[in-house]
Structure 1
Amino acid sequence: MANYAIGDLQGCYKEFQALLAKVDFKPSKDHLYLVGDIVARGPDSLACLDYIYTHQDSITVTLGNHDLHLIANYMLDKPANPKDKLTALLDSAKLPAYIALLQQQPLALWLKQEQVFISHAGLNPAWSIKQALQHAQFAQNCYQGPHAPDYFKHMYDQHPPVWHEQLTEFEQFRYIVNYFTRMRFLTLDEQLELTFKGAITDSNAMIPWFKHPRFNTFKKHIVFGHWAALEGITNHANIHALDTGCVWGGKLSLMELKNKQYFSANSTDFI
């Protein structure tokens, strides 16, 4: 039995299957953790979701921003961005079942045996792992509950810069979701910077979240995706960036969670 984590699929089904074959993934005994962004921008989001649906007992997804966006558009009956290449998925008769499956998935996971925390964008330096899981559970209750459409309606409102007890439940949901699915940089006063998406550059105004001093002595492992521009490099031995830009011509990356061994499959779309 083995546990694996894979970075952002974003519809890259061929590379997904090549990577599973490379490690001889067996759904009957192995478990796969996908760090989110299953869909959008790549050539075959439908096939990716269908595989997950077929093998759902052996796969767990920590939802990414594209996954939540798909659920929100479905619930609010909004059109998809043509750039997301979701026509085949949205036309599928199984779309309601795929949406229901995604809606069951968490925002964050803690794997005690491997000492690994998993989420799409990483770990807010202000949160302990216990606090992060509590926040994730709150947000999960929101997007799984009877008022989920109301929360999705407010998901893209202005980000609350500071957490305080007077935040409404909609604001709390948005604050939590943004840290788990959209975080890359923090300002020097430790607020979320949501506009810059590029590679790490010298800046007097912001730092990557994992360069916060808290992580200099952090002993647990963090597995995340979301940030293809990193090309898998964090310069922290225990902070693992698995989005290596397959959909942009890079590669799809997998980590075996017990021994922290890496495997990859090159993008086929740009060869």
Structure 2
Amino acid sequence: MAKYAIGDIQGCFTQLVTLLDQVDFNPSQDHLYCVGDIIARGPDSLACLEFLHNNAGAVSITLGNHDLHFLACLALNKSPNPKDKLAPLFASPKCHTYAEFLRAQPLAIWLQKQQTFISHAGLHPHWSIEQACEYAKFAESMYQGPDATDFYRHMYGDHPTKALTQLDDKDKFKAIVNTFTRMRFLTPEGDLELNNKSGLDKAGGLVPWFELCQLPPQVRVLFGHWAALEGKTNKPNIIALDTGCVWGGEMTLMNIKTGAFYQQR
């Protein structure tokens, strides 16, 4: 049995199935961990969701910002942004089935045996693995619960600046979602700065979150979200899997056990 992690898919169905064919992925034996942003911007989000749903027993997804935005739009009866190319998904008779499949997915995964943490945007350097998993569970209980629509409605807007312990449930939800799905740069004090989406050469006095991480070398973090990194963090145990397939780059797949990488443009 092999375990694989894959970077942001974003509707690039051809590259997804080509990569899985490349490693002879067998859903009856192997497992695929997706770092989120399964949909949006690419040519065939519907096919990607259909494929992953059909292989649900062999797939785990840490939700990304585009995935949660889709769920929020559906719950709040909002039209998707045309540039996300999600009209076929919203028009599908199985749209709500696929939405429930996504809604059941977590924000973070900790693979104890492999000492590997997976989320869409990474791990806040002020959080331990244990804290991060606890915060993820809290947010999951909100978007999977009966009041999910209220929390989706509150998911947007400025990032709360207070400590999590000082926030009400809705602001706590927003802060946790922002960290797990939108984080790139931080201020030197460790606060999220959500406007700069560039690479490391245009940090402008900000610090990439992983530069402040103090993890044991045997603990790995696998994340996506930040295509401008082009897969480079300069830290062997902090692994960026979003290599910008939807923007003309490559889709990246990693064998979690061996560390081998596979790419498809």
Aligned residue for 1:189? 189
Residue 263, structure 1, aligned to residue 259, structure 2: no
**What is the Cα deviation at residue 203 of structure 1?**
4.5
Cα deviation for residue 72 of structure 1 reads 0.2
Q: Which runs of 5+ in 2 are unaligned?
A: none
Distance in 1 between the 2:174 and 2:183 partners?
Answer: 12
1:241 maps to what in 2? 240
Q: 1:162 offset after TM fit, Å?
A: 2.9
Map of 1:269 onto structure 2:
none
Q: Scaled by the length of structure 1, what TM-score is found?
A: 0.96
The whole-number CA distance in structure 2 between the counterparts of 1:66 and 1:16 is 17
- In the alignment, which residue of structure 2 is the partner of 1:133? 133
* Deviation, structure 1 residue 205: 2.4
Q: Tell whether the 8 Å contact from 1:11 to 1:38 is kept in structure 2 after alignment.
A: yes
Secondary structure (helix, strand or coil) at the match of 2:166 reads coil
For residues 99 and 120 of structure 2, what CA distance do their matches in structure 1 show? 18
Report deviation, 1:164: 4.2
Map 1:1-271; keep pairs closer than 5 Å: 1-201=1-201, 203=203, 205-212=205-212, 214-215=214-215, 217-266=216-265
Distance across 1 between alignment mates of 2:181 and 2:174: 10
State how far apart, in whole Å, the 1-side matches of 2:114 and 2:221 are: 11
Q: For 2:179, give the aligned amino acid.
A: Y
How many aligned residue pairs are there?
265
Deviation, 1:165, is 2.5
Task: State TM-score, norm by structure 2.
Answer: 0.98
Aligned-pair CA distance for 1:158: 1.7
In structure 2, how many angstroms separate the alpha carbons of the residues matched to 1:174 and 1:51? Answer: 30
Corresponding letter in the other structure for 2:239: H
Is the 2:254–2:260 contact (alpha carbons within 8 Å) kept by the matching residues of 1? yes
Contact 1:162–1:191 at 8 Å: present in 2 too?
no
Kept in 2: contact 1:107–1:136 (CA 8 A): yes
Q: d(CA) in 2 for partners of 1:15 and 1:213?
A: 32
Deviations 1:34-73 (A, max 9, x none): 0000000000000000001100010000000000000000
Distance of 2:212 and 2:202 partners within structure 1: 14
* Residue pair 2:124, 2:213 contacting (<8 A) in 1 also: no
Name the CA distance, whole Å, in 2 between partners of 1:23 and 1:165.
44
Q: What amino acid is aligned across from residue 42 of structure 1 in structure 2?
A: G
Question: Using a 3 Å threshold, how does the CA distance of structure 1 residues 213 and 243 change in structure 2: closer, same or farther?
Answer: closer
- Inter-partner Cα distance in structure 1 for 2:86 and 2:8: 16
Residue-by-residue CA offset, 1:220-244 (whole Å, 9 max, x unaligned): 0000000000000001111110000
- For 2:99, give the aligned amino acid: I
**Aligned residue identity for 2:195:** T
In 2: Cα distance, 1:58 partner to 1:90 partner: 25
Aligned to 2:200, the other structure's residue is in SS state coil
